[in-house]
Chain A
Amino acid sequence: MKSLKIFEEVYSKEVIDKNFSRREALTKGLGFGLKAALAAIPFGILDVLNNKANATPDNPTIVGILNFALTLEYLESTFYTTGLNTSGLIPSSDVKVMMQISKHETAHVAVLKQTITSLSGTPVAQPNFDFTAGGAFSDVFTNYQTFLALSNAFEDTGVRAYKGQAAGLLGTGAVLTAALDIHSVEARHASEVRRLRGLKGWISNAEANGLPAAIYAGEDNTTEGTIAVGTITTAPAVSITEAFDEPLTMAQVLAIAGPFIKS
């Protein structure tokens, strides 16, 4: 029960604090630390991510990565389904976009479950979500701008999450290709949602545009491999940061997504 104790200590101090304002939530709430976020993930999910729930998967590492992806897709698909089912939330001008995104996220859930099963793994069960993140986004389904902001957050995080797992799927052939084929769709979504928010479709520097800084940490990188890109191109510095999306580790992603996963 060591994890539970961490959960109580950290979460009670930092998240359930009555004085934890919306502003604080926006600026640091989702990036309040890996320890807290990991503790906030329901134990069942951590077990699956650690493959304790998979008796004999063909490849535990691959199944773990796919269950991690499945968890994010559950989050996204539930988010859009809930939004589309909330009368008066999404303006009619944007419904076609949200329906298309929702269709894809629901399909991603099915594809990942199928792939995990085909590898003799066990797909993680769908968690219960709290899209207010403990009240930090209490108007997520009544204020469209909040909904759009979280959509932006989930899509950009999704892009970084898949990117961070690509190397872990090296040599898996069709599984890697499927992950890449989802990854680029998340990027199409991200671009469109950002544009709906009046932003560029791409990420300039590490600009968070009102979202938690953790989501964009490292996006201002301008060194690829050993090459300082600014020294070998005429493209402006900000364009270099836009031209390369950066990965997040599984732990970084869980720190961002954790507060939305209730149980």
Chain B
Amino acid sequence: MKNEKENLQDYLQETLYAPLDRKKFLKYSALSGGALVLGLASCHKDNNGGGSNSNAIDVGSGDPGILNFAYALEQLEAAFYIMVNASFYSGATTAEKQVLSDIMNHEIAHRDLFKAALGSGAIATLQFDFSSVDFTSRASVLGTAKALEDTGVSAYNGAGQYIASSDYLTLAGKIVSVEARHAAAIRDLLNPKSADFAGDDVVSASTGLDFSRTPNSTTGGPSIVATANTFLKTKISATKLP
């Protein structure tokens, strides 16, 4: 019988990579070269995971839309790490606690900065559903952290070219590299001193490019919006973003 952690891993595997297997996904992504140009997505009522529906909070359009999309992801990350830090999984080492505590504070800073920057244009505070995470399990916690950090990196990288303001682009750049530092550190905790910190599953072996995805891109599986929604009680949509 599978435990919750394995179910989560299966789930993430499915949502992030289905229907392509990992090798095909890598090939496909490498071919796209991170330069996918998708038209503006229309509002789909049924895009596999609640990417958008009539009750969803839409992040909006243009730069405020991208900032709100980032704000939603940062809210999700902050909420996750607050849960992790509230009661560490058994056997967590001092070094692991330090990493997870540091990351929590970084995500809180990111979340709060977006809220302040967006002001009255900010989307609401989101409600979360972490029932798929076993917070007592190291593998579940670090596996989820890895997925969230990698998703964050690909989301910022994919949204960058749609940002109109150079100030916001630079701000996104200041944050995405920290998300990438997190991703590498979490991956290093899971598989120390291996190639996984920048593994071939996230960085193309042929081009050395990190994967990037626009909010609604379904290349390689459900979109980032849909994946985020699996952790959200209040669903979000990004109908006016690529």
Binding site for B on A (CB under 8 A): 93-94, 96-97, 99-101, 103-108, 110-111, 159, 162-163, 166-167, 170, 172-174, 176-178, 180-192, 195-196, 200-202, 224-225, 227, 229, 232-236, 239-240, 242-247
Contacts and interface: CB of A to CB of B under 8 A. Distances in A.
B120 interface: no
B102 A96 contact: no
A166 B170 contact: yes
A195 B185 contact: yes
Contact of A234 (B108, B113, B116, B209): B108
Given A99-B195, A180-B212, A181-B212, A247 B174 contact: yes
Interface string B71-92: 0000000000000000000000
B178 to A, nearest CB: 6
B240 interface: no
Interface in B79-114: 98-99, 102, 105-113
Contact of B110 (A96, A99, A243): A243
Contact of B176 (A105, A183, A189): A183
B78 to A, nearest CB: 9
28 contacts: A96-B194, A96-B195, A97-B197, A101-B198, A104-B198, A105-B208, A107-B207, A163-B173, A167-B169, A177-B34, A181-B157, A182-B209, A184-B210, A185-B180, A185-B198, A188-B210, A190-B181, A196-B193, A200-B102, A201-B99, A202-B106, A224-B113, A224-B171, A225-B167, A234-B112, A236-B105, A245-B178, A247-B170
Contact of B109 (A103, A183, A186, A229): A229
Given A166-B160, A227-B116, A174 B193 contact: no
B126 interface: no
B35 interface: yes
Interface centre among A99, A173, A195, A200 (most CB of B within 10 A): A195
Closest 5 CB pairs of A and B: A107-B208, A174-B35, A239-B105, A233-B112, A187-B180
Contact of B178 (A176, A229, A243): A243
A135 B17 CA distance: 49
Contact of A178 (B33, B163, B184, B205): B33
A111 B208 contact: yes
B41 interface: no
A242 B177 CA distance: 11
B37 interface: yes
Contacts of A167: 166-167, 169-170
Contacts of B112: 229, 232-235
Interface centre among B33, B106, B181, B210 (most CB of A within 10 A): B181
Nearest to A109: B208
Nearest to A200: B102
B182 interface: yes
A181 B34 contact: yes
Main secondary structure of the interface of B (DSSP, over half): helix
B203 A185 contact: yes
Contact of B209 (A185, A187, A235): A185
A110 to B, nearest CB: 8
A45 B195 CA distance: 33
Given A174-B33, A178-B33, A111 B171 contact: no
B188 A163 contact: no
Contact of B106 (A100, A108, A243): A243
Nearest to A114: B207
B40 interface: no
A180 B208 CA distance: 12
Contacts of B160: 166, 176-177, 180
Nearest to B168: A225
A93 B193 contact: yes
Interface centre among B33, B167, B207, B208 (most CB of A within 10 A): B208
Nearest to A196: B193
Nearest to B116: A232
B46 to A, nearest CB: 29
